């Protein structure tokens, strides 16, 4: 995957004309992905708070360097995990449309033989170090997916199996409805406060922030992060970026769906002055020194894409997408869930991948100038030796 090749170069590439700085989508339907213009499926919430489909977000990333949010152009380096809260909430709020999207995506995945993560409704705990026995228990749970994840497509025939006839009937019904517009009011009726609880305070989300691990918290709940790096309070995964942005779309939806509850939460938090959690350092250590770039390969732990520095690849995972970790995540150890559908286990053997260093053009120039300077230094030294030999 990761076919998004860099845009074509041109003589006037450095143009500064920015006639369309506002990339605002005109679609007013709630939870539309601004890339495929459809209902988001397996939503990914970027650190800036913008929502995209899993595959749209993945494909929009730059394989060689830092990526930018398609909507606000904020730079980012870490591919977030699917926001499961939003995933299950949407499958409840607009079940028919969400199932249809699921089938569409599954069909494409079957063709490409690369799969997005299978999502199972709770108990869910990723990233935290755990013993292998627990992990095995988790896998047995995973093998019996329910809900949306239960949709099965016969890979050989490429058709929907008889087991999901019910689903196909509902699809027909949906298609009869034509392109009926998704209505926020309609969606709001199908969900309850229970679908939108903060993983920390267990109350209705207020000013929701989605972290890189996909978990959602009230902004005030993240405020008291003691370290400079923001870590998820429940799964302890580090968040990318040095500040938190609320997911405005979700916030707006919550405000509309539960006005009473929301204003109560607002009142609760009003006493405390709301300040975004902020840290100065880039999270996840000092990879700046090691500039080996693994083009088109992302870390399944922290989501860094492309991996910079050390890279470890699982030699036992058979999925086409593979399972890779960056140096930090490899050292941290524990049971790391893949960002796709990998069946990776902590006892799998991993191998360090050596790769030719990809140096940008200016880096090469820099290198040659260093060499030149070394040569000059060498001649100067030789000259000194020569003079010294005379002095002696």
Partner 1 sequence: MLDVSRVQKELMEVERDKLSGVSIQILGSSLSHMQGTIEGPSGTPYEGGVFTIDIQLPSAYPFEPPKMQFITRVWHPNISSQNGAICLDILKDQWSPALTLKTALLSLQALLSTPEPGDPQDAVVAEQYLKHYSTYVSTARYWTETFAKRSSIGLQEKVMKFVEMGFSEDAALGALQSTGGDENAALEKLCSG
How many other C-beta atoms lie within 10 A of the C-beta of residue 82? 21
Q: How far is the CB of 42 from partner 1 (least distance, A)?
A: 17
Name which of 73 and 173 has its Cβ closer to partner 1.
73
Q: How far is the CB of 83 from partner 1 (least distance, A)?
A: 19
28 near partner 1, rule: CB under 8 A: no
Q: Which residues contact 217 (CB under 8 A, 6 or more apart)?
A: 198, 199, 200, 205, 208, 209, 211, 232, 233
Of 29, 34, 188, 341, the residue at the interface with partner 1 (CB under 8 A) is 34
Q: Tokens representing 372? A: 């030149």
Name which of 73 and 228 has its Cβ closer to partner 1.
73
What's the maximum distance between 2 C-alpha atoms anywhere in the chain? Answer: 100
35 near partner 1, rule: CB under 8 A: yes
Tokens 């070394």 belong to: 374
How many other C-beta atoms lie within 10 A of the C-beta of residue 70? 18
How many other C-beta atoms lie within 10 A of the C-beta of residue 322? 17
347 near partner 1, rule: CB under 8 A: no
Burial 232-260 (b: 16+ CB within 10 A, else e): bbbbebbbbbbebbbbebbbebbeebbee
Q: How far is the CB of 18 from partner 1 (least distance, A)?
A: 6
CB 61 within 8 A of CB 299: no
Of 18, 28, 144, 318, the residue at the interface with partner 1 (CB under 8 A) is 18
Rounded Cα distance between 148 and 282, Å, is 36
**What residue ranges in the chain does DSSP mark as E strands?**
44-45, 51-52, 67-68, 75-76, 153-154, 159-160, 208-210, 216-218, 293-294, 307-308, 311-314, 324-326, 350-352
Rounded Cα distance between 116 and 341, Å, is 5
65 near partner 1, rule: CB under 8 A: no
| DSSP-derived 3-state class of residue 44 | strand
* DSSP label of 118: P
Applying CB under 8 A, the span of 36-44, 164-172, 281-289, 317-325 interacting with partner 1 comes to: 36-44
Of 39, 45, 51, 56, the residue at the interface with partner 1 (CB under 8 A) is 56
Of 20, 122, 156, 202, the residue at the interface with partner 1 (CB under 8 A) is 20
301 near partner 1, rule: CB under 8 A: no
59 near partner 1, rule: CB under 8 A: yes
Applying CB under 8 A, the span of 12-20, 76-84, 118-126, 203-211 interacting with partner 1 comes to: 12-20
Name which of 51 and 292 has its Cβ closer to partner 1.
51
Of 4, 128, 243, 268, the residue at the interface with partner 1 (CB under 8 A) is 4
Name which of 15 and 275 has its Cβ closer to partner 1.
15
Name which of 52 and 253 has its Cβ closer to partner 1.
52
CB 11 within 8 A of CB 2: no
23 near partner 1, rule: CB under 8 A: yes
Contact pattern from residue 371 through residue 390 relative to partner 1, giving x for each residue in contact according to CB under 8 A and a dash for the rest: --------------------
Name which of 171 and 343 has its Cβ closer to partner 1.
171
Distances, alpha carbon 291 to alpha carbons 180, 359, 365, in Å: 50, 8, 16
Q: How far is the CB of 67 from partner 1 (least distance, A)?
A: 11
180 near partner 1, rule: CB under 8 A: no
168 near partner 1, rule: CB under 8 A: no
Q: Which residues contact 215 (CB under 8 A, 6 or more apart)?
A: 83, 84, 85, 199, 232, 234, 235
Interface residue list for partner 1 (CB under 8 A): 3-5, 7-10, 12-20, 23, 25-26, 34-38, 56, 59-60, 68, 70-71, 73
């Amino acid at each position: 995957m990761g076919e998004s090749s860099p845009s074509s170069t041109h003589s006037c590439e450095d143009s500064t004309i920015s006639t369309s700085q506002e990339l605002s989508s005109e679609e007013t339907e709630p939870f539309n992905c601004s890339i495929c213009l459809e209902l988001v499926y397996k939503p990914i919430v970027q650190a800036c708070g913008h929502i995209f489909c899993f595959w749209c977000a993945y494909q929009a990333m730059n394989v060689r360097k830092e990526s930018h949010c398609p909507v606000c152009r904020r730079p980012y380096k870490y591919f977030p995990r699917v926001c499961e809260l939003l995933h299950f909430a949407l499958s409840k709020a607009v079940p028919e449309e969400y199932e249809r999207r699921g089938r569409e995506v599954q069909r494409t995945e079957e063709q490409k033989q690369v799969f997005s993560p299978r999502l199972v409704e709770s108990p869910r705990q990723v990233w935290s170090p755990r013993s292998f026995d627990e992990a095995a228990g988790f896998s047995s749970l995973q093998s019996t997916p329910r809900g949306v994840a239960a949709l099965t497509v016969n890979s050989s025939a490429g058709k929907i199996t008889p087991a999901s006839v019910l689903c196909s009937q509902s699809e027909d019904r949906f298609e009869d409805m034509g392109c009926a517009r998704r209505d926020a009011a309609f969606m709001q009726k199908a969900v309850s406060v229970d679908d939108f609880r903060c993983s920390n305070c267990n109350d209705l989300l207020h000013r929701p922030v989605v972290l890189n691990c996909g978990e959602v918290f009230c902004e005030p709940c993240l405020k008291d992060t003691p370290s400079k790096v923001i870590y998820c309070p429940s799964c302890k995964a580090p968040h990318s970026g040095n500040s938190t942005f609320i997911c405005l779309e979700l916030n707006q939806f919550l405000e509309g769906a539960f006005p009473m509850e929301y204003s109560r939460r607002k009142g609760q938090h009003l006493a405390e002055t709301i300040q975004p959690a902020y840290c100065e350092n880039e999270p996840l250590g000092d990879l700046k020194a090691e500039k080996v770039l693994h083009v088109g390969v992302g870390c399944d732990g922290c989501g860094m894409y492309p991996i910079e520095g050390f890279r470890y690849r699982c030699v036992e995972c058979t999925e086409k997408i593979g399972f890779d970790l960056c140096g930090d995540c490899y050292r941290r150890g524990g049971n790391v869930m893949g960002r796709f559908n990998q069946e990776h286990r902590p006892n799998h053997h991993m191998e360090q991948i050596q790769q030719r260093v990809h140096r940008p053009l200016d880096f090469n120039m820099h290198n040659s100038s260093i060499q030149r300077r070394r040569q000059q230094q060498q001649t100067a030294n030789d000259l000194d030796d020569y003079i010294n030999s005379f002095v002696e």
